[in-house]
Every structure is written in C-alpha cells, then in structure tokens.
Amino acid sequence: MRLFRGPAPLLLLRFLAALVTQMDAAKQPPAVRQRYIHFLNQHRDNSNANTGGKYCDKLMAKRGLTRPNCKNTNSFIHATDSAIKDVCGNKGEPYGNLRLSCDSFRVTTCKLRGGSNRQPCKYTHDNRPRHIVIACDQGYPVHYDEGKVIVNRGRKCRRR
C-alpha cells in the first residue's frame, strides 16, 4: 500500500529542505544572515545537475534574476548548503582574500543569449565540474566569484 501519490512527496521534501536552509541561516548575525540567504538564492541549486533544455531560462526567472532586466551571467552550484559551506572551512583553502574549494562541484553557468538584456530572457548554459571560488564571512559563503573558472587545480589541496 502506498501512502503518498502524485507530487506530494516531492513537495514535502522541497519544503523540508527550505526549512532546514532557513534554520541554518538563522544561526548567523543579521548582517551575515542576509548575505548568506542572498548567496543561496543566487548560486545554490541542489537539484539534479542534468540541466539541459530550458533549465537556465526557468531557474533565472524563478530566482528573480530576470527582473527588471535579464542578468548577463549567473552560476548555480549543484550541492548541499553544507557542502558549499565546508569550503569556508576545511574543504577549502585561501585564494587571495577568497576561498578555493578542494573538491570540484558540478556548476551550471547561465549566459544571456543575444545583445539585449530585456525580457524575454534566453540563456545558454555550461555545465562542467569545476572548483569554486567564494568569499566567506564568519564561516558562511556570501559571494561566488563568477570570473574564476578552475577546472583542474593541478595539485592537491593543502588542508588546514
């Protein structure tokens, strides 16, 4: 006998994931909390990393990155909040004033197609594994550096 049918189990899982994210975000001082939640909204998508088709068009709109104008470039890291947060700790190392991940992540970078930043927004995507470069504040990621695409580090991470 099945207790759940249809989309209910998936919706429940998404609700619980959002609740856990909010509970984790509530642990920081207010200045860090807002920046951390903003980072998660803009750069974390813990869904399946198979992002063909209209993935970028849909997710950029859903996250509010197409209003009032289409954002030119945005990247989504396909990992859990805690996996990304670990880059601020022992799963990352200093990279100037930022942190470079020891392990690679699946990242989808959405780039605006065409010359206009007005709607409708149409995006291309690049979905390669890479090491991420982030800024951290009090142990929480608050900024993703889109300009640093490091596919192969060439050496092992010096863990602290």
| Active-site residue list | 43, 143
The encoded tokens of residue 100 equal: 């470079």
Q: Tell me, what amino acid is at 127? A: N
Residue with structure tokens 């975000």?
25
Three-state SS at 135: strand
Three-state SS at 151: coil
Burial class (CB in 10 A: 0-12, 13-18, 19+), 75: buried
Q: Which of 94, 84, 97, 64 is nearest to 132 (CA)?
A: 84
In which element (H, E) is residue 127 found? strand 123-130
Bin 150: left if φ > 0, else alpha if -120 < ψ < 50, else beta.
beta
